[in-house]
Chain A
């Protein structure tokens, strides 16, 4: 109704202007401009954080790199936009970025009403609490009357409310715009507890003045599947992102990694052959070439390599695979068949 009126109004003054900007799909755009604009966090160690030289590293960043390797052939052809929790969806909706790879939780509301599509899950997480050891709290259920520092506009804020409500505990949320401010507020004692995804807790704990003085409580109060997000209505680009995640997982399952990928091309395993483009036209179906999975594996690594390098036991975060292990090793990571 309103649309018709506005169309009528616009017709005379702006007909020419409106017509000019019909864009092709994101995949073609990316190929044309030669780089991927990737939305990342403003600094979350292990997921996306700049080092002192300004180079971005992390699990989320490695996905952007893998995507660049698959689409453009070069993992370094990525430009990063650090985004706050508040502007991340707008940035994606408006086309400022090509994909959002920023520890973003997959929820129904986001998937349906924000004009977004989640490509898959790169990391299964859950929300937890961190408290100073000297508080003597051993369980989240003892947090009665606590002030809790939390970042604005996250699922965290909602889960926390649900948790306290379900356990009939009162609490005071102290809501900050920026992750760093939230953490600094916790560190200086403004709050009794700090809450975010468990992986984030581990990441943020190393940023504290005295990491050993803080305890991550055992309860996980929510499900937080984190993964890359693309714009709604661009199925081709969604497919590329989705199947790239599966390719990284499949590579781990088949034992293909950055070091042996070239030898594995000679493998007799038909699954490996299809993944690496020796057999079939998997890449072509995605709008890429048949080496689409070889390059990311070679330049960035399979899922296990990405995990271990950024958040695994040998890193400062020291996370075990847990739910993020492959399905046949007791985890949830499961690649759809590439065939």
Chain B
């Protein structure tokens, strides 16, 4: 009976609050109003507070003289430089530690990941212990451990550990010889660039020829010969324009040469060992994700174990490995901000530390710092998306 009546009645227009289109607009407007409202409220409070207390604002401070000194500088910097320049110094130091960290973390991570899959029981267990220990202890604690507990117990410069008579390890850091470039070194650099270009084009040519004619060409030895031979030749012709400056103990510190501060050493060491434990797991998962049938099929068509690994397993494993690997690189870069806890002058210590304290412009400085990290991570995720798309095409 009820059924009949419903069927007879023309479908009533639903009330406006039940109309999906109205609702969509309503809720979106609500969210938008909320976001803008909260944002405007906070901005308004901040402006009111700053104006009332007479706190300086704006980005003019970036152009004023900094007046403090920084121990590690990649970018030319003196006490007379501006705060803007100090920002660049901090940023360069952050990037330096991230790049070195990524380099070592990748190598160590791949070793650990492959070791974990080793058929050798002892090696596999050792790798497992490494991974499970390091990834379950906070990174900051590991940084403190290496910096305060281990590197602090190194001897004073006079009693340095000496390696090969040119490296000196002491509580002030690791002193190494520094390269000194003389006139004519430009030619060596130029020859190196030419050598790289030549090697790349030979590899390309060899691949094309192999694809077209099937005749293989041994690119490895040729490229190596070009890569090493050409710069060496250029060096000899230009009259050895490169010299090494050695560190010498003078006064109470080493003078000359290069020094890697203990802060940098501790930071790079702990960042790469910590991240390596995560990369190890990613590598293991990636290799295990490649179907065993793939390896067997490769053997069946007569590929050698080396070629199987290079042409079949690794390309497929990489597809699984690369996305989480990039996010580990991103984590490493973000984690390098912990430098501020152990006096390594990175972006956070120099800019969100010293500059913030000297100028007192918290809002601008924290905003810039966050924006920098955000930009780095957006760039990395853009790369990741690009790579994923590329890989997806290959799959078809």
Residues of A within 8 A of B (CB): 2-3, 6-7, 9-10, 12-14, 17-18, 85-86, 89-90, 93-94, 109-110, 112-116, 135, 144-147, 152-154, 157-158, 160-162, 164-165, 171-177, 181, 184-185, 188-190, 192, 231-233
**CB <8 Å contact, A175 and B40:** no
Give bound CA distance, A182 to B36, whole Å: 44
Interchain CB contact (< 8 A) of A135 among B49, B71, B252, B255: B252
Interface stretch, picked from B108-116, B191-199, B340-348, B371-379, is: B340-348
| CB of A18 to closest CB in B, whole Å | 7
One of B36, B37, B345 near A175 (C-beta < 8 A): B345
Q: Can you name 24 A-B residue pairings with CB atoms under 8 Å?
A: A6-B47, A10-B37, A10-B44, A14-B37, A17-B41, A18-B41, A85-B357, A94-B49, A110-B360, A113-B55, A146-B251, A152-B349, A157-B354, A157-B358, A161-B68, A161-B79, A162-B79, A171-B69, A181-B343, A184-B148, A189-B152, A192-B252, A231-B53, A232-B54
Contacts of A161 in B (CB 8 A): 67-69, 79
B-chain residues with CB within 8 Å of residue A165 when the two chains form the complex: 79
Q: Which of the residues A85, A109, A233 comes within 8 Å of B52, measured between beta carbons? A: A233
State in angstroms the CA–CA spacing of A268 and B53 once bound together: 44
Total A-B contacts with CB atoms under 8 angstroms apart: 141
| Chain B binding surface, main DSSP class | helix
Nearest-neighbour CB distance to chain A for B247, whole angstroms, equals: 12
Tell me, rounded to whole Å, the shortest Cβ–Cβ distance linking A94 to chain B. 8
In the complex, the answer to whether A146 meets B252 with C-beta atoms within 8 Å is yes
Give the total of B residues in contact with A, Cβ under 8 Å. 49
Minimum distance in angstroms from A65 CB to a CB of chain B: 26
A175 vs B34: C-alpha distance when bound (angstroms): 43
> Which of B53, B153, B171 is the one whose CB lies under 8 Å from A115?
B53
Task: Kindly list the 10 A-B residue pairs having the minimum CB-CB distance in the complex, ordered from nearest.
Answer: A153-B357, A115-B53, A13-B37, A113-B56, A115-B55, A114-B360, A9-B40, A10-B40, A14-B41, A161-B79
Provided the pairs A93-B49, A188-B171 are in contact, do residues A145 and B41 lie with their beta carbons within 8 angstroms?
A: no
Contacts of B41 in A (CB 8 A): 10, 13-14, 17-18
C-alpha gap A243/B48 in the complex (Å):
29
Which listed residue (B45, B172, B345, B353) contacts A86, Cβ 8 A? B353
Contact B55 A158 (CB under 8 A): no
Known A145-B255, A158-B67, A173-B69: A6·B40 in contact at CB below 8 Å: yes
B343–A175 touching, CB < 8 Å: yes
- Supposing A172-B71, A174-B343, A190-B172 touch, asked if A154 and B44 sit within 8 A by C-beta, the answer is no
Assembled-state Cα–Cα distance A173/B350 (Å): 12
B36 and A13: CB pair below 8 A? yes
Interface centre among B44, B263, B345 (most CB of A within 10 A): B44
